[in-house]
Amino acid sequence: MANILIVDDDVTFGLMLKKLLEKHHYQATTVFSPEEVKRLVRQEFYDVVLTDLRMPGVSGMDLIRMIKLESPETQIIMMTGYADISTAIQSIKQGAFNYIPKPFPPEEILSIIREALEEATKKHEVKNQQNDPKQNNFLDGISKVSVRLKEYIALVAPTPLSVLITGESGTGKEYVARSIHALSARADSPFVAVDCGAIPKELVASEFFGHVKGSFTGAIADKIGHFEAANGGTLFLDEVGNLSYSTQIQLLRTLQESLIKPVGSSREIAVDVRIIAATNENLQLAQEQGNFREDLYHRLNEFQIIVPPLRERREDILLFVRHFLNQANTVLEKCVSGFEPAVEEAFMDYSWPGNLREMKNVVKRATLLATGKLITLNEIPAEILNPQKKDNQFKLFNEENESELILKVLESVGYNKSKAARLLKIDRKTLYNKLELYKIELPEKNNPMDSND
């Protein structure tokens, strides 16, 4: 049962939200004074903290900094009025998982909480897999695009070139990065993966370059940064498009000089790190908008690998689902031997908008539900059995008309951002980044969970 802390000075709203979460089987605690948060976070681990952006005496930004220092793995969701959306977007850049404007419908806050918990689970699985070579093997496909992908990996791995991996969410970009590292001369040295969208702005320098004890409030001991931790090996920058412009400048300088200076130290440290970056964003468009430095783009993009979506590698689908079935059997301690022919046919007809990540989740769930030796149609989600005719009509990656598509989808779902993100085949954080990028303003709406904020 996930443990959730609600921080809001509106007593009525806080109690109503607590009742909603408990109804959906979450353990919820409500705090009306932000001064109590630090004590509670120190005493007990909270999977998610829901906090108001504006409260007497303290801001949501201050709470983000405090919570991240005390409990880095806690996911933070900001609750805010529409007038503060630009500030709330900044909160994401400082470490919040996401934000939600007040007032909001119950299903939308529940959706964001599920996404936050799934993201935390994914990060935990990645950490566990780092010491398990069997889990890090990239699955080779047999399709032409998969064979070409494997050839590119083998070609660039032995070189010192920086690699930019692009592709839709869920296509396996980190597995490609790990494969490049495993085939390189640095294979016996560290592979350090960094989620660029999850680092609080105030802690970026410390996270990348380290700090010395006493260099800032909360620096109770010396800390080694990601660059020094990856020295001699590979530093993987996941979702590099989420880095702030100021951080991009710092990163570029480090890549050019191969030197880092920990926060609070006058000593420079030489580092030898290979950079592999990944993104599902259109960085060329971000350059045109002035949100991503052209010089950094070229420094990262010495060699580019495009990871194809599953819909372009149909010959691999049955190979992949059997691979994920074997994994699910191991994790769930089951012995399901395969799929009914009708299930395999449905898998082949489906476009898999969530790619390998979606497929893995579908197969794991079906394996858990299976009562016999074979997975049947009864264990398969309805959206796979009845796919929409134009499943890819809202695909964003590498599209020039993103702004128009986003508006069209938002209007079609009554500006419900969770539904829009699902139709657009992107996560909510990416949707919010695009709303800010294109300066798209959404109309206010009335809904059941009203607030005085």
Residues 85 and 166 in one domain: no
123-153 core/surface letters (b: 16 or more CB in 10 A; e: else): eeebeeeeeeeeebebeebebebbeebeebb
Domain that holds residue 178: 130-306
The answer to whether residues 266 and 305 touch, using CB atoms and an 8 Å cutoff, is no
Residues 219, 262 share a domain: yes
pLDDT at 446: 42
Q: Does 293 share its domain with 324?
A: no
Residues 376 and 416 in one domain: no
CB 142 within 8 A of CB 319: yes
pLDDT in tens, the chain (453 residues): 889 999 988 888 989 999 999 999 999 999 887 778 888 888 889 999 998 877 776 777 778 888 887 888 899 998 887 555 566 666 776 778 888 888 888 888 998 898 888 877 766 655 554 444 434 445 678 999 999 999 999 999 999 999 999 999 889 999 999 999 999 999 989 999 998 877 777 788 888 998 888 777 766 777 888 999 999 999 999 989 888 888 899 899 999 999 998 888 888 899 999 999 999 888 888 888 888 999 999 999 999 999 999 999 999 999 999 999 999 999 899 999 999 999 999 999 999 988 999 999 999 999 999 999 999 999 999 889 876 544 444 445 444 467 778 888 888 777 888 778 777 767 676 787 788 777 788 776 544 444 444
pLDDT (0 to 100) of residue 89: 65
Q: In this structure, is residue 334 part of a structural domain?
A: yes
- What is the count of structural domains for the chain? 4
Please spell the DSSP secondary structure of 83-101, one letter per residue: GGHHHHHHHHHTT-SEEEE
Domain shared by 110 and 139, yes or no: no
170 within a domain of the structure (yes/no)? yes
Buried b (16+ CB within 10 A) or exposed e, 213-230: eebeeebeeebebbbbbb
* Inside any domain, residue 290: yes
Q: Are residues 262 and 218 in the same domain?
A: yes
Amino acid in the structure at residue 5: L
pLDDT at 444: 61
Cis omega (within 30 of 0) for bond into 103? yes
Pair (414, 369) in one structural domain:
no
Q: At a CB cut-off of 8 Å and minimum separation 6, what does 70 contact? A: 38, 41, 42
Residue 332 sits in a domain whose CATH number is: 1.10.8.60
Domain identity same for 172 and 240: yes
In a domain, 393, yes or no: no
- With respect to residue 72, please indicate whether it lies within any of the assigned structural domains: yes
CB 453 within 8 A of CB 81: yes
Phi-psi region of 154 (alpha: psi -120 to 50; beta: other; left: phi over 0): alpha
Residues 301 and 323 occupy one common structural domain? no
Q: Are residues 82 and 189 in the same domain?
A: no
Alpha helices in 94-217 (DSSP H): 106-129, 133-136, 144-156, 173-182, 204-209
pLDDT for residue 190:
92
CB atoms within 10 A of CB 118: 14
Query: Is the domain of 144 the same as that of 107?
Result: no
Burial (CB count <10 Å: 0-12, 13-18, 19+), residue 386: exposed
Task: Find tokens 């090996």 and name the residue.
Answer: 233
Give kind and range of the element (H or E) at residue 383.
Answer: helix 382-385
46 and 3 in contact (C-beta within 8 Å)?
A: yes
From residue 222, give the alpha-carbon distance in Å to each of 121, 256, 290. 28, 25, 36
